[in-house]
Structure 1
Amino acid sequence: MMVAVLGGGGWLAVSVFKPAGDASESTLHTVARRSFPVIIESKGELKAKKTTEVKCKVEGRSTIIWLIEEGTTVAEGDLLVRLASDQIDERVQQEEANEASAIAALEAAEKDLEILIDQNLSDIRKSELAVEIAGIELEKYTKGDAVKTLKTNELAIDRVAQSLKRADLEFTAARQLREKGWMTESDYLEKEFALKEAERAVETSNLDLHVFQTYTHPKDLRQRESDVDEAKKELERVRKSALAKEAQRKAEVEAKRAALLNAQNNLKKFREQKEYTEIKAPAPGLVVFDTGNRWDPAKIAEGGEVFEYQTIVSLPDTTVMIVSVRIHEAKTNLITIGQKATIEIEGIPDVIFSGEVSKIAPLADSRNQWLNPDLKEYETEITLETNEHDLKPGVTARSEILVSELKDVVAVPLQAVYSKGGKHYVFKPSGPAAEPIEVNLGESSNDYVEVTSGLDTGERVYLAVSDDAKRLLPEVDSSAAGPMNASAVSSGGTRSVSGSGGAPARRAGGPGRGPAGGSRGGGRRG
């Protein structure tokens, strides 16, 4: 159908109602309820969950004289590599001779020193005993005698204070009785004297405490501390005298001991280097030679050289295998630890392996960022439940992660949905024309997308329309348009139409997905 519209200063006839191709039944789809899984497909590499790297520990460069065959399955302790050891053997013999000579020299110096030490031990022990006795006397006074005297004085003060309080109460009562004529004068005077006697007792006890704290205790404490200091000084004098005599011989002993220690360290080092020439498996696994990287390739072979800390062999433990995949950032919100997955392994047809998501990298992998700076993917690991087929690392694997199961939802094919300005539309027949209807979307697969509102079952929508029909989509202010439905975009994608209406349809989520793939439904799961 043709219609004339005013544009560019004149009338232009365009085809706006004619769908792509003929408006036949083949381009229409009847909306119905469906059940389908939402799956994220990804392509990755099979790896061992645990891999042990075996490095060269021999200093400098060494020549490989024997090498186990790559691909051999080894147990812990099996020999992997043997390195040349001729020069190391010579150094071991030399250091053994040096050690024997150093031992003899040290023994002679130690015997001379023992004779001199015996002459001084007696005097030192006597001085140490004097210090110990003085210290005990000081501690006995500070923790015993002085504390006892102080507590005795304090107890006496408490006792006379209590007596004073009681005498004061009795005197007060006697005075009241005397005023009423109920007590004789002699009894009253007796109570008065008792009160004064109690007051004097308090003053005396306080004076005793003051004298002890101010004079007696400091004097006795200082005397005992002085005894300790003098005993220590005497001990120090004895020791200095002994040290002066022993200094020279001790220096000789220490020099001999240092020479021996150096010889022993050298011998230990070269014996360890000798052991390192036979490299054994620290754990069971499959032998894989290290090849370095693209900038620094390495060739592991008999006759070749290796250097210290170079990785020679990797031992992946193939009892537990994982698939390492890369998930696009738009899909990471859909995956969680523990989600079930199925895996197909290259070279093992008609076998579906089961697994679950076991690790999601916290940060995007930037190793390939130099190829595509805008590509951000998260390395994800899927652990296989079993390894009954003797799987090997490095094999290509394809995985499907089950995100969710949609049950009995209104859904349409993905190709029937168009997105513009953050909103989603389908085209319904309206007479001979195609009319855009806005819809709200839920989750989607590679084939279908859930429609949460805007369509009912039984309605029909076009699977494809012409570019002229796309121009009927409402214009949206780009500054006011919000983001597209995250679930729909990340789970499967819809057709995106530019503001002019002339852009071709594309998969939402952007180019450059690489191995991340897309989420899908149906297939062999359906």
Structure 2
Amino acid sequence: MNKKKLLLFGIPIVLILVGYTLFGNTADEDVAVTTKVVKGDFVNEVIISGEAQSTSLKKINAPEEIRKFKLNVKIQDLIPEGSFVKEGDYVGRLDPSEVNEQILDAQLNLETAESKYTQEQLDTTLTLKQERTAIKDLLFDIQENKLELKQSIYEPPATIKKLEINIERLERDLKEKTEDYIIKEQKAMAKMVEVGTEVSKIKKMLDELRDLQKSFTIHSDTNGMVTYAKNWDGSKRKVGTTISSWDPAIATLPDLTKMESKTYANEVDIRKIKKDLPVIIGFDAFPDITLKGTITNVANVGEEKRGSDIKLFQVLVNFDENNDNVRPGMTTSNRILIHKEEDVLMVPLEAVFSQDSISFVYTKSGMSIDKKEIEMGESNLDVVIIKKGLNEKEIVYLSKPEGMEEKRILSLN
């Protein structure tokens, strides 16, 4: 009975010990994560978001005359963005407050100028009338003295001489008075022209202001879809926005057949991005739509976005295809193809280690682990191409196995 009990309890214990001996180390090894070398197509892409915009658009501007009158006007009304309009359709209206004030000032100035013109006209008429009367009086005096001289042939020589001298003096006064009259007449005419010109100038300005007031109602001069114009900081102009006389656009009519994606890349990605690289463009609003594109411009100088010190570089992607659903302002996803290779061996980046400038991987060889030198090719954020050192389906470790520090690296040669 004792022997039977020993066998019943002893056999399971022996089996447990044997199992641990056979499979215990394997269990420890399985803790380390492994993967296989795969063969396939390698794709290196940079994915950045952007905004769709038209490369060709027609601006709907406030009247050009607001610059002449130095007006900064506000948008009083705008039709909804995305509305389709035809030539002559209403687009919006500008606040006429400032131009109304200038019209009122011009009216007051015109009244003052016209009053001044009338006063100058009356003064001129009176002054010249007095001058003409004085000339007539001199003519009468000369005629009277000449008649008296004619009747004084029998008078003493002194009397006759006195009359002759008096006639000569009157004739000299007449000449001077006539010359003075001509000068005063010319001066009065010049003054009238000056005042009259001021009146005409104010009238012209008043007419222009009234025409400008009428043009504050904005209409489209062509067909298209309305998009709001943007300020220097990228914000859209809307009702209440002040329009500068130097940048009078209130809206635009983009050409929807000529579209591009405007995006920005960081300092790391910009080194990979080149002109003419192909791009697959997606749209947040339409996940099922993708269009082909091509990079047309890569900025050489970075710029800082508001609220950030990170330098970003502008990248423009031209749409090689069109879609009627795409609209300016839509958020785009731009998959830029940097590099592609077919039928290449690849491993995850986590599987690659380095020592003394030698790149290597840990591979599983039967029950042991080897350190193999590798020659790498292009890489992306996930995998790296293996040019030499590994075979397809060979097992590599994604983390460093324990106790491998002193093991020699198997050289490619």
Distance 1:61 1:313 in 2: 15
Shift of 1:72: 0.6
Q: Which residue of 2 aligns with 1:73?
A: 84
Shift of 1:264: 5.2
Matched, 1:278 2:217: yes
Matched, 1:411 2:349: no
Contact 1:436 1:472 in 2 (8 A): no
Q: Which residue of 2 aligns with 1:351?
A: 289
Summarize the alignment of residues 31-430 of structure 1 with structure 2, pairs less than 5 Å apart.
Answer: 32=39, 34-51=40-57, 54=60, 56=62, 59=71, 61=73, 64=76, 67-75=78-86, 77-83=88-94, 85=96, 87=100, 91=104, 94=107, 248=187, 251-252=190-191, 255-256=194-195, 258-260=197-199, 262-263=201-202, 266-267=205-206, 269-281=208-220, 284-289=223-228, 300=239, 306=242, 308-309=244-245, 312-368=250-306, 370-371=307-308, 373=309, 375-418=310-353, 424-429=359-364
Question: 3-state DSSP class of the match of 1:427?
Answer: strand
Match of 1:462, as an amino acid? V
Q: CA 1:73–1:434 in 2, change beyond 3 Å: closer, same or farther?
A: farther
Distance 1:281 1:377 in 2: 36
Match of 2:399, as an amino acid? V
Shift of 1:354: 1.4
1:465 to 396, 399, 402: 399
Residues 25-56 of structure 1, C-alpha deviation per residue, up to 9 Å, x if partnerless? 97242465x43333322223333334555555
Contact 1:88 1:274 in 2 (8 A): no
Shift of 1:61: 4.9
Q: CA 1:52–1:391 in 2, change beyond 3 Å: closer, same or farther?
A: same
Q: CA 1:338–1:398 in 2, change beyond 3 Å: closer, same or farther?
A: same
Question: 3-state DSSP class of the match of 1:441?
Answer: strand
Residues 409-428 of structure 1, C-alpha deviation per residue, up to 9 Å, x if partnerless? 44333332235787643223
Shift of 1:366: 1.0
Distance 2:192 2:311 in 1: 67
Gaps of 5+ in 1: 1-17, 109-243, 475-526
Aligned length, in residue pairs: 312
Contact 2:284 2:332 in 1 (8 A): yes
Question: Percent identity among equivalent residues?
Answer: 21
TM-score normalised according to structure 2 size:
0.58
TM-score normalised according to structure 1 size:
0.47
1:22 to 23, 29, 53: 29
Distance 2:28 2:201 in 1: 92
Distance 1:350 1:297 in 2: 28
Residues 494-522 of structure 1, C-alpha deviation per residue, up to 9 Å, x if partnerless? xxxxxxxxxxxxxxxxxxxxxxxxxxxxx
Gaps of 5+ in 2: 1-24, 122-182, 409-413
Distance 2:235 2:290 in 1: 38
Aligned-residue Cα RMSD (Å) equals: 4.8
Distance 1:60 1:365 in 2: 29
Q: CA 1:394–1:85 in 2, change beyond 3 Å: closer, same or farther?
A: closer
Shift of 1:297: 9.2
